[in-house]
A and B are shown apart, each in its own frame.
Chain A
Amino acid sequence: MNSNLLFDFTVDKAAKTVFITREFDAGLSLVWDAFTKPELLDQWSAPAPMRAKTKYMNFEVGGKRFYAMISPDGQARWALQRYTSITPKTHFQIYNAFSDKDENLELPGSEWDYNFSEQDGITKVNITVFNESFERMEKLLDGFTAGFKMTLKNLEDLLVTLSQKS
């Protein structure tokens, strides 16, 4: 990451709201596509070692993205995002909820709001996550944490193997 690019993460505990701002070294159209096209979303929208896999996606108001976050051991955590508002290349809003593989939602979900703006070839994305519950955050992170621990474990095993060889 270009170290001059802004990354800001603020939590308003009282309002149960998370504010995230990030700049990207790319034009608005490209960044917008990266957030709204499944083939691009799947390349980045789950934190490694997890990966994202979109089952289907209709980017239109009332449309949905049904996708899974898959952990290294093959566990899938499904989520459904419904697009509630779209202003091309400027703004979109989703209602995000976990679900099982058959799209039965685990309520309540939370509302996510995305804003995009470009200046001098740098695109700024503002994300607001409304009323995310702590329990949901734990769920979001479960796989990530487990995957992260697994990566460390693999590294340990590798180091053990290497040190035995030398």
Chain B
Amino acid sequence: MRQDIFQAIADPTRRAILSLIAMQALTPNTMAEKFDMSRQAVSKHIKVLNECGLIRPEQSGREIYYHFNAKKMQEFDNWLAQFRQSWETQFNQLDKVLATIKNKKNEQ
């Protein structure tokens, strides 16, 4: 199952990890140190973030560094903007429906 972005960023620890690696790419070991968490717990969070494309791994020698994928976040924000647009379109349609009914009532 593809990870849901909303699900991924709803978790405070994962948001903190994202904020941190948005500034600099980190290895899982460094993350575990900074968050005072087990490697296992960090791995779980990394898996979720990686599966929804918010971070991308890059091999550097023997280490894997995780980078923040700003493009994916932007994509998500674009989707939200479209969600907003969809509501706006519906509400503008409703304005017309309400105006039509009001006019009919006034004519009677």
Question: What is the interface of chain A, defined by CB distance below 8 A to chain B?
Answer: 1-2, 5, 7, 9, 11, 13-16, 18, 20, 22, 24-26, 30-31, 34, 40, 43-48, 132-135, 137-138, 140-141, 144-145
Task: Pick from B21-29, B43-51, B87-95 the stretch touching chain A.
Answer: B87-95
Scan residues 59-105 of chain B and give those whose CB is less than 8 A from a CB of chain A.
76, 79-80, 82-99, 101-102
Contact B102 A26 (CB under 8 A): yes
User: For B82, what are the chain A residues with a Cβ–Cβ distance below 8 Å?
Assistant: 141, 144-145
- B15 within 8 Å of A (CB atoms): yes
User: For A134, what are the chain B residues with a Cβ–Cβ distance below 8 Å?
Assistant: 4-7, 76, 79
List 13 additional A-B contacts (Cβ < 8 Å) besides A9-B88, A24-B98, A134-B6: A2-B95, A9-B87, A13-B6, A14-B15, A16-B6, A22-B91, A26-B101, A30-B101, A45-B90, A47-B86, A132-B6, A137-B6, A144-B86
User: For B5, what are the chain A residues with a Cβ–Cβ distance below 8 Å?
Assistant: 134
Majority secondary structure, A binding face: mixed
Give the docked Cα–Cα distance between A11 and B65 (Å): 31
Give the docked Cα–Cα distance between A30 and B90 (Å): 16
Given the interface contacts A14-B9, A135-B4, does A140 sit within 8 Å of B93 by beta carbon? Answer: no
Contact A47 B101 (CB under 8 A): no
Residue of A nearest to B15 (CB): A14
Q: How many residues of B contact A (CB 8 A)?
A: 32
Partner of B95, one of A1, A13, A14, A48: A1
- B41 within 8 Å of A (CB atoms): no
User: For A13, what are the chain B residues with a Cβ–Cβ distance below 8 Å?
Assistant: 6, 9-10
Give the docked Cα–Cα distance between A46 and B87 (Å): 9
Give the docked Cα–Cα distance between A25 and B99 (Å): 8
